[in-house]
Amino acid sequence: MFKSITVVIIAASTASSFAAVNPYPMALRASLSANAKSQSLNEWESSGFTPHDLFARFRAQGNAAEFCEALVALPPRDLALFEAELESPLNQRLLPCRDSLLGKLENHWNQFNTTTLLDVPTDPEAHRLPSLEKVVDPTTTRATVATGGLEKGEIAITLDDGPHPTRTRRILEIFKSWGVRATFFELGFQAHARPKVSRDVLAQGHSIGSHSWDHPNLPALAEKDLPAALAQIDRGRKAVEAAIGENFPFFRFPYGATNEILSKYVTDQGLVSFLWNMDSMDWKLRDPAELLKGLAAILDQGKPGIILFHDIHEQDVLVMEPFLQMLKDRAYSTVVFVPRKSPALLP
């Protein structure tokens, strides 16, 4: 009799202690681990452990105090993985720790502003790189552009997923200082939200392509709902065109993922599809010094082609000028893709 009562009390006590355990530290570690192990952006964003996935689950059934406790415990390097979700308006009012966490990240990034990642001359005249135009004819370019047909010593800088409310313009200022032009592949919902930023990209002589409406894996979506996948392409393109007031016939598949039906559809719409043959891995390498080291290794291979960045990440802003200096040190020329019969672009 007494023994059974004791067992019940112990069991109840144990269940209570398990219920009191904060689940978020383990969830954050799982997200960080999945990011570290992923070999591609597609693999990472399909893992089910992205910050977007984690914050969506929190919004559905989470405890703000427990989530804050777990986030506050992260070192800044790890916290940086969750920066975009902390910045998102969806989470603005749900986390009382949000402002302090963003302040923590600002201090973290500021150390790289004051720490020399690379010796970049302060003389503006030294901040110049040759910038070439590569004309692409959408009526004759039927295959996906993977390397851009560039020559040795030529590299095309491309940036995906913007425009960001602040980071895109900071990158534009860097490009302006160096006389560099690039190709931006914008998401439709981002361009729709910030058309002025998109117009600034165009006004400074850069090319703009579309990148779907909101970055789904289009082949996976097409298997379930082909019209929805095609609508992603069309809606994204129309949003970018509406933002800039012009038609740029350039497109990039999210994750570079496509299939025969989708590729044919894009071509039939008069669009040129672009891939890349150099990946900065900026979605994974959040430490600017580590990211820059990886970029140096890419350049040291000496191959020409298209490099992939994202103008939505703080680490990209911080490494962009040192990266341009590395290009200059290695005698690279930068390349911007322009469509045949495009409106005149500023030099």
Instruction: Kindly state the tokens that stand for 35.
Output: 């990011």
Three-state DSSP class for residue 279: strand
Residues 6+ apart with CB under 8 A from 127: 120, 121, 177, 178, 179, 324
**Which helix (DSSP H) or strand (DSSP E) does residue 177 occupy?**
helix 167-178
Tell me how far apart the alpha carbons of residues 125 and 11 are, in angstroms, rounded to a whole number: 74
Tell me how far apart the alpha carbons of residues 246 and 227 are, in angstroms, rounded to a whole number: 25
Three-state DSSP class for residue 169: helix
Active site residues per annotation: 160, 310
Q: How far is CA 192 from CA 43, 107, 163, 216, 266, in A?
A: 28, 31, 9, 17, 21
Q: What is the phi/psi pair of residue 294, to 5°?
A: -65, -40
Tell me how far apart the alpha carbons of residues 27 and 25 are, in angstroms, rounded to a whole number: 5
Identify the residue whose tokens are 């600017």.
288
